[in-house]
């Protein structure tokens, strides 16, 4: 099997972004768990808003949302992970007042993954920190991000 080549460049822009039938942006993400499923790896949000789960746009050159999710885990958190299960689709729960052309309505597809390796250097290391936290810590960080909290709650992270 060929080793996957991991770029040190983060993808930017939306020209290759996939959209759903209702014009919603398709976003893929991971709930990155420790091998014993007692901790989840969170990353600092690029904007204000504290700690989030790795996620980003599913692009047209990626065959599956799972590929996109694993790429985002690499770019944003610097981890190599193995997807364990599909956590399903989660609708965007933001009130319409928070939607904009910069932040259009999205449809999220999350995957539960076990982190195999954490690399010392990764594409977004200069703009994001990463931190292992318990379920309770993660849930309190995601209180204002209901779609991310839903993904966390669908995972098998130990409560």
Residue 135 belongs to domain with CATH number: 3.90.79.10
Q: What is the DSSP letter of 24?
A: P
**Residues 115 and 74 sit within 8 Å (Cβ to Cβ):** no
98-140 pLDDT, tens per residue?
777 666 689 999 999 999 999 999 999 999 999 999 999 999 9
Q: What is the pLDDT of residue 97?
A: 79
For 125-128, which contacts have Cβ atoms below 8 Å and span 24 or more sequence positions? Answer: 125/78, 127/44, 127/46, 128/43, 128/44, 128/46, 128/76, 128/77
pTM comes to: 0.89
CA distance 59 to 99: 21
- Is the pLDDT at 49 greater than 70? The verdict is no
In a domain, 85, yes or no: yes
| H-assigned helices in 1-145 | 65-72, 135-141
- Please give the tally of structural domains in the chain: 1
Q: Domain of residue 46: give its range.
A: 25-93+103-154
């Amino acid at each position: 099997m060929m080793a996957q080549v991991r770029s040190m460049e983060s993808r930017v822009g939306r020209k290759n972004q996939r959209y759903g039938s209702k014009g919603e942006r398709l976003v893929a993400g991971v709930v990155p768990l420790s091998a014993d499923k007692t901790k989840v790896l969170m990353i600092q949000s690029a904007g204000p808003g504290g700690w989030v789960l790795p996620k980003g746009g599913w692009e047209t050159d990626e065959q599956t949302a799972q590929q996109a999710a694993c790429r985002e885990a690499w770019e944003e958190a610097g981890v190599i992970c193995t997807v364990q299960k599909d956590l399903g689709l989660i609708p965007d729960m933001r009130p319409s007042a928070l939607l904009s052309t910069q932040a259009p309505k999205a449809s999220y597809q999350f995957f539960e993954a076990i982190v195999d390796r954490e690399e010392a250097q990764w594409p977004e290391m200069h703009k994001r920190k990463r931190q292992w936290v318990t379920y309770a810590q993660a849930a309190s960080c995601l209180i204002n991000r209901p779609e991310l909290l839903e993904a966390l709650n669908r995972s098998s992270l130990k409560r």
